[in-house]
Amino acid sequence: MMRSLICVVVITVLFSVSMMAQGSIGGINAYGYFQSTFYVSKPSISKANNSFDLQQLNLFFSRNLGSGFSAFVNFELANSFSSSRSWGSFNLEEAWLKYSYSQELNVKIGQLVPTFNNLNEIKNRTPLLPYVMRPLIYESTYYTMINVAPFLPERAFVQVYGSKNISDLKLDYAVFGGNSDVTYANSKTGDNWTDGNDTTSFKMVGGRIGLRGYGAKLGVSSTWDRYRAAIVKDNYGVIKSTMFLGNVPRLRLGIDFSYTGYGFFFESEVILVNHDVSQASQDSLNRISQPVKVPVGVTPAGPIFATFASPYGNSFDKSFYYGTLGYEFTDKLYAYVGMSKMHDDFNKVFDATKIYTIGGGFKPVESVVFKLQYYNMDLGEVPMMGKYTHNLYYCAVSVMF
């Protein structure tokens, strides 16, 4: 709680300073986005509910330092953040120094969101996105339910990037590096490392190369790092004690394509996550992925067991893709349809999650967007639970200030 209070004080001070600052060089520019929602939730298994929520708020502070240097800070608050009530989350998303030598060469140093596919860098710009609920792995409000870290490089600490004109096209590139997976970060007091520091000698590296032109954008992204394969003892009795299967090499591959023209907008992404496990680790995965016998009753002759599919698969590999097609009827009115699918070979709850969505928005002024969205999530047959679907209805206002 004390850390959260300190962060709030820091934001207040920075915002006050920015209000007093004058000019673009030497002055701090303060701006931000927030999105407030009302939703109705109707899951097929648990009970229905509805709620208001301040879904997300981002505060940005930037400063032009002169001679090609600039600085940027991004604070993010999600899910009606309240430190006193232990609601939501408060994060320092970005804090970096940028040096721009030319269009072809730029360098960022500090904590940053790396260039991976199309949506990763801009996912928190809620008024600039058509959605209330973003494609699943980009939705920050699901952070307590879905671990998106395996799909995305959420942060890096150095990035070199730029673009070069080639006739009517632009060639984009980015190369970045940062800490290994967040599961390797220290979170305990009394260790030899300070909180949040990487405890390994191996790091994450990645990049993107792409082309832009004629309203279209195409790119290929990749990262290489390692996954800390520690499987915690479970309540199903499948995993008797915590298993450590090693520091598994992990490769992410992303492809993005988007287009805007003739009133239409289209965006899509594919993310594939591959893990190179050892034979010993593969043998362990094969064992825990076998069907499970669960006691369901007792008779004079003894207990009665039922056999269920294991909630775990025999691979850590994952995939995700989404596509959205929309049309702008006017400068102020738009609508869209979209679908996405997440596949997780290990966690069978999300083995084949499909989402279908339809929505639209109205912009009375440039900095305000009113949004509607229907969101159907189909998890299929969930181990030991049965078929699970979830219908959600959203209305929201998204504001740029």
pLDDT digits (tens, 9 = 90+) for 78-100: 999 988 888 989 999 999 999 99
Give the pLDDT mean for 356-371: 98
Task: Identify any residues that bridge with 342 across adjacent strands, giving them in sequence order.
Answer: 320, 353
Q: What pLDDT is recorded for position 140?
A: 81
Q: What pLDDT is recorded for position 256?
A: 98
Residues 325, 301 contacting (CB under 8 angstroms): no
Tens digit of pLDDT for each residue in 256-312? 999 999 999 999 999 999 999 999 999 999 998 888 777 777 778 778 877 878 888
- Indicate the SS3 state at residue 285: helix
Q: What pLDDT is recorded for position 17?
A: 46
- Comparing 145-154, 229-238, 327-336, the range with the smallest average pLDDT is 229-238
Residue of 339, 343, 342, 344 whose CA lies nearest to 355: 339
- The CA distance from 288 to 343, in Å, is 19
Residues 240, 256 contacting (CB under 8 angstroms): no
Residue 388, judged by CB atoms within 10 A of its CB (0-12, 13-18, 19+), counts as middle
Q: What pLDDT is recorded for position 26?
A: 54
In this predicted model, which residue has the larger pLDDT, 23 or 297?
297
Residues 271, 254 contacting (CB under 8 angstroms): yes
DSSP letter (8 states) at residue 25: B
**Tokens at residue 345, please?**
């070979």
Alpha helices by DSSP H, 191-289:
279-288
- The CA distance from 294 to 288, in Å, is 14
- The CA distance from 225 to 171, in Å, is 26
Question: Given a cut of 60, is residue 20 above it in pLDDT?
Answer: no
Give the pLDDT mean for 142-147: 75
Average pLDDT, the chain: 89
2-400: CATH homologous superfamily? Porin (2.40.160.10)
- The CA distance from 290 to 65, in Å, is 60
Q: What pLDDT is recorded for position 7?
A: 52
| Percent of the chain whose predicted confidence (pLDDT) is above 70 | 91
Q: What pLDDT is recorded for position 263?
A: 97
In this predicted model, which residue has the larger pLDDT, 276 or 232?
276
Residue of 308, 288, 295, 280 whose CA lies nearest to 234: 288
Q: What pLDDT is recorded for position 84?
A: 85
Kindly list the domain boundaries of the chain, sorted by start residue. 2-400
Residue of 233, 171, 226 whose CA lies nearest to 203: 226
**Tokens at residue 86, please?**
């232990």
Give the pLDDT mean for 39-43: 96
Q: What pLDDT is recorded for position 192?
A: 60
Question: Given a cut of 50, is residue 21 above it in pLDDT?
Answer: no
Question: Given a cut of 60, is residue 380 above it in pLDDT?
Answer: yes
**Tokens at residue 254, please?**
């992303």
Question: Given a cut of 80, is residue 3 above it in pLDDT?
Answer: no
Report, in this order, helix, strand and coil percent for the chain, each rounded to 5: 10, 60, 30
